[in-house]
């Protein structure tokens, strides 16, 4: 299923989210399905909210079902037939009615829809997960409309589901407005979001330019600890018509292969994001009646995106230099992790930088064969400053 950009006019940020979900879920499930008896998808804030298609092809649950059906076909070719199971949760009664009708129409997939809020539905979700059996891989998607609903004490039991991975929409634009509020009605909510009030001390003194990253990274730290995840990364998703971050997608996994797949799909999604933003901004400029001679991509100012790319690449370089500073051999895998757990940085960035330093005689690879152009994760390659 190819996502139609016309269904996302005015909500281009949702297009980016759905592209990552769509492409990642397909690749993940095909890999997992080679050994799992069940693949369970849990969507804790399903909707539909702003769907513009009769088949819900522009909703998270519609996309998930379509991709999981593709997975069934691909795995069947290999003689693998894991149970495909979906749990959809929606608190709004009207939206739930649509969701329930959709689930009832499905065949070949176990789909259960519940009308409830996440905080009260966790026991039901855990019971649904349990019925998946011992070899049950679970992918959980948390996509609230605001910063409420994903408090750490609420989602903690779901973070612990193993084997499994999570994708969380951290609503940055909403959170930054209230996170440092002294309003006694808001403070308890943010303390629950992070699990305690320690985050306030960590945010104190952080510059405005680094505030978003500090908020997200501290939340990720808690997510990793509670779910015992080995890796986590996050992707900034921009507002369509202005240069600002709307939300961050947080991904957590216990397996390096999952991180590798996620980062590949992140790269493709942000390319679509910039193209969609270019079109949205051109539509806004042309709304007064004057058409522009050049295409949206030619007119698009990429400075905001490029500045963030530079910022995050500089963070990666600092991590890499710190790891190599002792001049002792360092596993390439550590450098790989430093790069792939940083937003908007990809393995190609790391490899190109390392190879340039190697050509200049500033570092050497140990264990890299002459036939290999670049080092690869999990191959035992060591890197050393010369």
Q: How many CB atoms are located within 10 Å of the residue 260 CB?
A: 17
First to last CA, the chain: 50
Note whether 253 and 340 are same-domain residues.
no
Does 180 have pLDDT greater than 90? no
The pLDDT confidence band at residue 2, using thresholds 50, 70 and 90, is low
**Euclidean distance between CA atoms 362 and 382, whole angstroms:** 14
State percent of the chain over pLDDT 70: 99
The pLDDT confidence band at residue 379, using thresholds 50, 70 and 90, is very high
The pLDDT confidence band at residue 161, using thresholds 50, 70 and 90, is very high
**Euclidean distance between CA atoms 228 and 129, whole angstroms:** 18
Note whether 181 and 323 are same-domain residues.
no
Note whether 208 and 328 are same-domain residues.
no
Note whether 323 and 254 are same-domain residues.
no
CB 277 within 8 A of CB 12: yes
Q: Which of 84, 87, 83 is nearest to 124 (CA)?
A: 87
pLDDT at residue 1 in the model: 44
Query: Which of 1-15, 155-169, 209-223, 235-249 is predicted least confidently?
Result: 1-15
Residue 115 in tokens: 């009308």
| Residue in the block written with tokens 């993940």 | 28
**Euclidean distance between CA atoms 41 and 24, whole angstroms:** 13
Residue range 83-100: average pLDDT? 97
The predicted-structure confidence for 231-248, as pLDDT tens digits, reads as follows 999 999 999 999 999 999
Residue range 325-348: average pLDDT? 95
Looking only at the bridges linking them, the beta strands covering 245-253 and 38-43 are unpaired
The pLDDT confidence band at residue 84, using thresholds 50, 70 and 90, is very high
User: Is 298 within the bounds of a domain?
Assistant: no
Q: Say which CATH number the domain at 20 has.
A: 3.40.50
pLDDT at residue 327 in the model: 86
Note whether 43 and 171 are same-domain residues.
yes
pLDDT at residue 162 in the model: 96
User: Is 293 within the bounds of a domain?
Assistant: no
**Euclidean distance between CA atoms 66 and 57, whole angstroms:** 8
CB 385 within 8 A of CB 324: yes
The pLDDT confidence band at residue 111, using thresholds 50, 70 and 90, is very high
Does 93 have pLDDT greater than 80? yes
Domain that holds residue 370: 314-385
Note whether 204 and 275 are same-domain residues.
yes
């Amino acid at each position: 299923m190819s996502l139609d950009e016309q269904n996302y006019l005015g909500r281009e940020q949702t297009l980016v989210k759905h592209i990552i979900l769509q492409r990642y879920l397909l690749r993940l499930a095909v890999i997992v399905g080679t050994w799992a008896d069940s693949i369970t998808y849990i969507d804790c804030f399903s909707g539909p909210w702003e769907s513009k298609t009769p088949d819900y092809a522009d909703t998270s649950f519609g996309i998930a079902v379509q991709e999981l059906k593709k997975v069934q076909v691909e795995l069947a070719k290999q003689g693998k037939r894991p149970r495909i199971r979906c749990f959809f949760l929606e608190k709004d009664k009207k939206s739930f009615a649509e969701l329930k009708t959709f689930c009832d129409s499905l065949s070949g997939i176990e789909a259960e829809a519940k009308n409830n809020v996440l905080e009260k539905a966790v026991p039901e979700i855990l019971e649904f997960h349990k019925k998946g059996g011992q070899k049950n891989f679970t992918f959980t998607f948390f996509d609230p409309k605001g910063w409420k609903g994903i408090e750490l004490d609420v989602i903690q039991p779901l973070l612990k589901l193993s084997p499994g991975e999570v994708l969380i929409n951290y609503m940055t634009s909403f959170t930054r407005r209230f996170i440092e509020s002294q309003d006694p009605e808001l403070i308890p909510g943010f303390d629950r979001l992070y699990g305690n009030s320690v985050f306030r001390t960590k945010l104190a003194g952080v510059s405005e330019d680094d505030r978003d990253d500090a908020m997200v990274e501290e939340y990720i730290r808690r997510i990793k600890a509670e779910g015992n995840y080995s890796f986590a990364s996050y992707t900034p998703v921009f507002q369509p018509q202005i240069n600002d971050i709307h939300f961050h997608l947080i991904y957590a996994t216990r397996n390096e292969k999952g991180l590798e797949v996620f980062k590949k799909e992140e790269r493709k999604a942000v390319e679509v994001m910039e193209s969609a933003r270019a079109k949205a901004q051109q539509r806004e400029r042309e709304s007064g009646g004057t058409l522009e001679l050049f295409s949206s991509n030619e007119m698009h100012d990429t400075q905001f995106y490029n500045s963030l790319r530079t910022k995050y690449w500089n963070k990666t370089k600092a991590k890499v230099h710190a790891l190599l500073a002792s001049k002792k051999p360092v596993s390439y895998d550590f450098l790989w992790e430093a790069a792939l757990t940083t937003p908007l940085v990809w393995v190609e960035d790391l490899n190109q930088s390392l190879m340039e330093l190697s050509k200049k005689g500033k570092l050497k690879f140990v264990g890299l064969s002459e036939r290999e152009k670049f080092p690869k994760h999990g191959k035992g390659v060591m890197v050393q400053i010369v």
